[in-house]
């Protein structure tokens, strides 16, 4: 199915998933305004949210099944397999968050069903970021996502930690958005366009790749994205925000928000920047700093939630290695994104089952003896920790393997070495969790009496674990999809300098 985005009908087809999700989010918002007083009302809003996410995923599948592509230059929104697969990852992360939130919200007394419309609007912003073919669309998606997540981070209004998390996230998020927008303005000033493909033409064929104005703009753009993905040295907000937010929201932030920001960064890097201007070296430096800092600081953490927060920073470094590999790393990027999303959401769901009042006080030693009283949950947490470590037989191992292969294939040998060494270091904080559960006695007989999941949470956790193990043992399916998406994401594919000249605004106007 070839779409001409200059045609209104075809443009609406290309935007069908986002349009449907917008409409359904408004319906859920009306439902919340009508029924918002009891736990049953909150659960009804959650069920409606799942229906909205499933329907949107179905429309994404329809576009993918019909091999939707763009006829000519994609002006505002991309129509390719990379977008569709990332959309599935984002919608899946949102759906798992909803499933793990049912019991958590009731247990913590957070009976405010606007939680679910906020998740839907955040997912909508993420999809716009992943599918944006124009810097302004990416920015609008980022702001829609960020505003929703700012509120979700402070959703527990009785918690000072949550209020602190929301304020820090808002202030530093606004700071990052300012960098990003200023970078977009400078890039427009240098190239006369905000379309990624047209910027790529000018960078690769018209000799503007070394203009100081463009280089400064790209630098500011990378700073803005660095804040959003929590890359070192722009990571200072992440541990406190992850620690203070409600745990299901923390899982959503560590997966969905990060996946959307990385997808947008990856598209900008591959389609607009090419290999000029020295950006690969900059991203490689960020990757090294992020992998080393995230892993070393995580070693010192005794709180499970803060350990997972710094672990998330370390994994951002691994994803930056795929970004540094450019187009050759797009397949590995997708594989790792799937593995990381399944594993991290499951990790925070298990933490939410263990703790109370935000789970900030759950320490590694508090998991001692879990295997004796809750063998199923202990086994699940073991699989999660091993996947985060990159143990063979798990999806995390496959993801890291293909990122290393992409780095070596593009000459980034140092990045591959640092990734391997820092993964070894990460055993120092993942394995103590497993050792505590299986090799230490519980501090008291009833230490884990309250650690339970409802049937919805158990079903979601089981699905996540099956995905982690299935992709680790038989990864052919996800590898095929990722490789197919890689072929659709090429810098300035099919765009000529003549087309760029006819579309772009002269620089300085």
Predicted confidence band of residue 291 (pLDDT cuts 50, 70, 90): very high
Q: Which of 64-78, 353-367, 378-392 bottoms out in mean pLDDT, i.e. has the lowest?
A: 353-367
* 233-236-237 Cα angle (round to 5): 135
Per-residue pLDDT, averaged over 14-35, amounts to 91
Q: Dump pLDDT digits (tens) for 185-243.
A: 999 988 888 888 888 888 877 777 678 888 898 889 999 999 988 888 888 888 888 88
Answer yes or no: is 399 within a domain.
yes
What pLDDT is recorded for position 508?
39
- H-helix or E-strand containing 376? helix 375-389
Answer yes or no: is 509 within a domain.
no
Answer yes or no: is 249 within a domain.
yes
Better-scored residue on pLDDT, 270 or 386: 386
Query: What is the CB neighbour count within 10 angstroms for residue 471?
Result: 24
Predicted confidence band of residue 319 (pLDDT cuts 50, 70, 90): very high
Q: Dump pLDDT digits (tens) for 150-162.
A: 999 888 888 888 8
What pLDDT is recorded for position 353?
84
Please choose, from the candidates 437, 106, 53, 387, the residue with its C-alpha nearest in 3D space to the C-alpha of residue 246: 106
Q: How far is CA 27 from the centre of its chain?
A: 26
Q: How far is CA 392 from the centre of its chain?
A: 23
Alpha helices in 278-329 (DSSP H): 279-299, 304-324
Answer yes or no: is 308 within a domain.
yes
266 upstream amide cis, omega within 30 of 0? no
Answer yes or no: is 498 within a domain.
yes
Answer yes or no: is 49 within a domain.
yes
Q: How far apart are CA 189 and CA 60, in angstroms?
A: 35
Count of domains forming the chain: 1
Answer yes or no: is 493 within a domain.
yes
For residue 509, is pLDDT > 50?
no
What pLDDT is recorded for position 505?
39
Percent of the chain with pLDDT over 90: 38
Answer yes or no: is 30 within a domain.
yes
Better-scored residue on pLDDT, 485 or 490: 485
Three-class secondary structure assignment of 61-98: HHHHHCCCEECCCCCCECCCHHHHHHHHHHHHHHHHHH
Q: Dump pLDDT digits (tens) for 127-151.
A: 999 988 899 999 999 999 999 999 9
Q: Dump pLDDT digits (tens) for 185-194.
A: 999 988 888 8
Predicted confidence band of residue 357 (pLDDT cuts 50, 70, 90): low
Query: What is the CB neighbour count within 10 angstroms for residue 473?
Result: 12
**Tokens representing residue 15 in the block:** 């935007």
Which domain does 240 fall in, by range? 2-503
Query: Average per-residue pLDDT in the chain?
Result: 85
């Amino acid at each position: 199915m070839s779409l001409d985005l200059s045609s209104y009908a075809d443009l609406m087809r290309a935007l069908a998933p986002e349009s449907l999700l917008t409409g359904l989010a408004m319906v859920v918002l009306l439902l919340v305004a009508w029924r918002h007083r009891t736990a049953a009302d909150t659960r009804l809003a959650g069920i409606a949210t799942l229906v909205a996410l499933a329907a949107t995923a179905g429309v994404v599948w329809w576009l993918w099944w019909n091999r939707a592509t763009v006829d000519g230059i994609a002006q505002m929104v991309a129509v390719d397999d990379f977008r569709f697969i990332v959309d599935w990852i984002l919608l899946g992360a949102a759906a798992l968050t909803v499933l793990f939130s049912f019991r958590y919200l009731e247990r913590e007394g957070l009976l405010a069903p606007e939680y679910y419309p906020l998740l839907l609007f955040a997912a909508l912003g993420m999809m716009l970021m992943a599918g944006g073919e124009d810097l302004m669309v990416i920015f609008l998606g980022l702001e829609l996502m960020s505003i929703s997540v700012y509120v979700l981070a402070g959703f527990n209004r009785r918690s000072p930690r949550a209020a602190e998390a929301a304020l820090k996230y808002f202030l530093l998020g606004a700071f990052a958005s300012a960098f990003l927008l200023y970078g977009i303005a400078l890039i427009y000033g240098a190239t006369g366009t905000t379309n990624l493909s047209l910027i790529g033409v000018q960078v690769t064929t018209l000799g503007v790749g070394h203009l100081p104005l463009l280089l400064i703009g790209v630098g500011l753009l990378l700073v803005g994205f660095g804040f959003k993905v929590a890359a070192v040295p722009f990571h200072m907000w992440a541990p406190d925000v992850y620690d203070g937010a409600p745990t299901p929201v923390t899982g959503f932030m560590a997966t969905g928000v990060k996946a959307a920001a990385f997808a947008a960064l990856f598209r900008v890097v591959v389609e607009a920047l090419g290999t000029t201007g020295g950006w690969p070296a900059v991203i490689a430096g960020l990757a090294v700093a992020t992998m080393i800092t995230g892993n070393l600081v995580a070693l010192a953490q005794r709180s499970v939630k803060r350990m997972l927060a710094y672990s998330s920073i370390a994994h951002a470094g691994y994803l930056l290695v795929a970004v540094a590999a450019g187009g050759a790393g797009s397949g590995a990027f997708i594989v790792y994104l799937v593995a990381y999303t399944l594993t991290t959401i499951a990790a925070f769901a298990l933490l939410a089952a263990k703790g109370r009042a935000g789970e900030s006080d759950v320490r590694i030693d508090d998991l001692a003896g879990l295997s004796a009283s809750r063998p199923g949950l202990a086994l699940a947490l073991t699989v999660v920790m091993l996947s985060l470590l990159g143990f063979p037989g798990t999806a995390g191992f496959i993801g890291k393997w293909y990122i290393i292969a992409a780095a070596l294939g593009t000459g980034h040998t140092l990045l591959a070495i640092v990734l391997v060494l820092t993964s070894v270091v990460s055993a120092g904080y993942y394995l103590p969790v497993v050792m505590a559960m299986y090799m230490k006695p519980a501090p008291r007989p009833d230490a884990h009496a309250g650690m339970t999941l409802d049937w919805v949470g158990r079903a979601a956790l089981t699905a996540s674990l099956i995905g982690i193990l299935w992709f680790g043992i038989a990864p052919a399916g996800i590898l095929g999809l990722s490789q197919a998406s890689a072929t659709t994401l090429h810098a300035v594919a099919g765009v000529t300098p003549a087309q760029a000249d006819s579309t772009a605004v002269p620089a300085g106007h």
